[in-house]
Chains A and B, each alone.
Chain A
């Protein structure tokens, strides 16, 4: 059954391309009110995550292109990380078509070995 105006009620979706460091790329549609981690889980893609509320940084990705917004404070990221484009994918919702670097090794960029 179609209702007048139903199309307008469809949630806005954006194509988000996940780029792994080994060269693998996958695109998926993520709704405006859906986090990248939730969207990935929904389609059976594995992204790293931990606390799911922005404290732990396990889900850190790096925004290569486009706009993602955090829907709560990304406590695990310091100012310098946010400025460099790091995002927490458990809190990040899309506001445009995006490309994001993902995978467990992105998180390790945040804090290098201080003695080395």
Chain B
């Protein structure tokens, strides 16, 4: 069993960089996580049934990603939720590398919100292959705080867990941030002291060393829940800004408004190096990658990757790529992102962060991909949620976005479920290759087809861990 599979993820006793002897659940540096954590052996993957005629709840799936295992590339377990209709979406850890110095903390619980139900599940993940539900926070407890639609979960250094919430109790704006206690998972209340100009919420990232948090914007739950309507974009109901927060005082400090260049800014990823004050946000609809950064105490932004829409022979209007997920490798050298309407996943060298350089891409599924099947499995959907191995050598992705949006753009997912796929990445050569052998078909999930969504590794990953 590698360190990555142990409940604590990593023990500092064996870490030469960490000599003060305080045990914690994470890694002292991104480099330590990248080089010392060992290869991922299991993956936790969200399996969603919402918007399908499958009479079963959503589940957290356990996928075997150990090539030496007889069940390699199989869904070896599922933990079904106690209720139907949750729409599990994103999830996170009770503790990550930002709790590195928190004595006694272990990375052993997954916080699994239901995007539609507003129900929050706490799973015991101390044995990755024997996940179990430990506690459920019912929607009514969340609505009491005038919040709904939980999204991004991060642990934060002061013994707390924060969940970005996209709506108020009615599913309308503005939402906010829900704070849970790391010990007993009780609700503390709102994290933020002051919402300021923030009217919409989505994803967020923080750099504690620079006292900053950056949040992005999707739309009101009642707007995006039923599906994507261009009328709503024209009516200004979708986001185009990110927000800069004071991490200590929890006050909203500044809004960076992108306008047309940054419509629907979704995932926010800052560099892993805690010294850095920059990161990227993917503007899904404008299909731009925007770099935000602090220079001489001022926050600013620039479009660093601008993708073009494309004519589709059977469609009336040019189709935007729709950048739906992005991530940065633990060494901050590569940026990966997915174009869910076009069907490619891209790899950029960002060692010169203001000038990303496209080094490779893979087409798989989508509305433009030449390759529409892998190992005999039809690809339903297109590259979407990404997860990179800690050593940066394997990129995995799933092909479902969100139940109602799937049903609009890739309706076959609703009937057949979606896939988890993988590419081998060669960081030294700056290229990647689709693994023709690796397919996990969520159409074959026990109890009926499911949509595969976010992926996490026991032991932490480059979209969950933040360093102090």
Partner of A111, one of B222, B229, B315: B229
> Once the chains bind, are A50 and B85 in contact (CB under 8 Å)?
yes
Which residues on the B side are within 8 Å of A105 (C-beta)?
53, 407, 411, 414
B189 to chain A, nearest CB (A): 21
Partner of A114, one of B167, B229, B314, B414: B229
- In Å, the complex CA distance between A57 and B85 comes to 11
Partner of A50, one of B55, B116, B228, B318: B116
> Once the chains bind, are B316 and A115 in contact (CB under 8 Å)?
yes
Partner of B226, one of A49, A111, A115: A111
- In Å, the complex CA distance between A108 and B409 comes to 10
- In Å, the complex CA distance between A4 and B55 comes to 43
> Once the chains bind, are A56 and B226 in contact (CB under 8 Å)?
yes
> Once the chains bind, are B227 and A110 in contact (CB under 8 Å)?
yes
Which residues on the A side are within 8 Å of B229 (C-beta)?
78, 111, 114
B221, closest chain A residue (CB): A55
A3 to chain B, nearest CB (A): 35
> Once the chains bind, are B116 and A112 in contact (CB under 8 Å)?
no
- In Å, the complex CA distance between A103 and B404 comes to 13
Which residues on the B side are within 8 Å of A60 (C-beta)?
226
> Once the chains bind, are A57 and B316 in contact (CB under 8 Å)?
no
- In Å, the complex CA distance between A20 and B139 comes to 29
> Once the chains bind, are B316 and A104 in contact (CB under 8 Å)?
no
Contact with A along B402-428 (1 / 0, CB 8 A): 011001110100100000000000000
Q: A53 at the A/B interface (Cβ < 8 Å)?
A: yes
Q: A42 at the A/B interface (Cβ < 8 Å)?
A: no
Partner of A104, one of B86, B172, B319, B407: B407
> Once the chains bind, are B404 and A53 in contact (CB under 8 Å)?
no
Which residues on the A side are within 8 Å of B222 (C-beta)?
55-56, 75-76
Q: Is chain B's interface secondary structure helix, strand, loop, or mixed overall? A: loop
> Once the chains bind, are A115 and B87 in contact (CB under 8 Å)?
no
Partner of A115, one of B51, B55, B319: B319
> Once the chains bind, are A51 and B317 in contact (CB under 8 Å)?
no
Q: Given A49-B85, A105-B414, A115-B312, is A57 in contact with B404 using a C-beta cutoff of 8 Å? A: yes
Contact with A along B319-344 (1 / 0, CB 8 A): 10000000000000000000001000
Q: How many residues of B contact A (CB 8 A)?
A: 41
Q: B230 at the A/B interface (Cβ < 8 Å)?
A: yes
Q: B50 at the A/B interface (Cβ < 8 Å)?
A: yes
> Once the chains bind, are A48 and B51 in contact (CB under 8 Å)?
yes
B401 to chain A, nearest CB (A): 13
Which residues on the B side are within 8 Å of A50 (C-beta)?
50, 85-87, 116-117, 225, 403
- In Å, the complex CA distance between A20 and B403 comes to 19
Contact with B along A6-49 (1 / 0, CB 8 A): 00000000000000100000000000000000000000001011
- In Å, the complex CA distance between A9 and B148 comes to 37
Partner of A46, one of B55, B117, B312: B55
A37, closest chain B residue (CB): B85
Which parts of A53-105 form the interface with B (CB within 8 Å)? 53-58, 60, 75-78, 103-105
> Once the chains bind, are B227 and A111 in contact (CB under 8 Å)?
yes
Q: B157 at the A/B interface (Cβ < 8 Å)?
A: no
- In Å, the complex CA distance between A48 and B51 comes to 6
Which residues on the B side are within 8 Å of A58 (C-beta)?
50-51, 85, 87, 116, 225, 403-404
Q: Given A49-B85, A50-B50, A103-B53, is A111 in contact with B408 using a C-beta cutoff of 8 Å? A: yes
Q: B52 at the A/B interface (Cβ < 8 Å)?
A: yes
- In Å, the complex CA distance between A115 and B313 comes to 11
B229, closest chain A residue (CB): A111
Which parts of B204-262 form the interface with A (CB within 8 Å)? 221-222, 225-230
- In Å, the complex CA distance between A73 and B409 comes to 28
> Once the chains bind, are B148 and A55 in contact (CB under 8 Å)?
yes
- In Å, the complex CA distance between A45 and B99 comes to 46
Chain B CB within 10 Å — which of A54, A56, A75, A116 has the most? Answer: A56
A77 to chain B, nearest CB (A): 8
> Once the chains bind, are B51 and A107 in contact (CB under 8 Å)?
yes
- In Å, the complex CA distance between A65 and B403 comes to 28
> Once the chains bind, are A115 and B315 in contact (CB under 8 Å)?
yes
A81, closest chain B residue (CB): B226
Q: B118 at the A/B interface (Cβ < 8 Å)?
A: yes
Q: B171 at the A/B interface (Cβ < 8 Å)?
A: yes
Residues of A within 8 A of B (CB): 20, 46, 48-58, 60, 75-78, 103-105, 107-108, 110-116
Q: Which 9 residue pairs spanning A and B have beta carbons closest together?
A: A55-B171, A111-B227, A50-B116, A57-B226, A46-B55, A56-B225, A108-B407, A75-B222, A114-B230
Q: Give 9 new A-B contacts, CB below 8 A, not counting A49-B84, A108-B407.
A: A52-B117, A56-B226, A58-B87, A60-B226, A76-B222, A78-B229, A105-B53, A108-B411, A111-B408
**Listed A/B pairs (11) with beta-carbon separation below 8 Å:** A46-B84, A51-B171, A55-B172, A56-B116, A58-B403, A58-B404, A75-B222, A105-B407, A108-B407, A113-B409, A115-B315
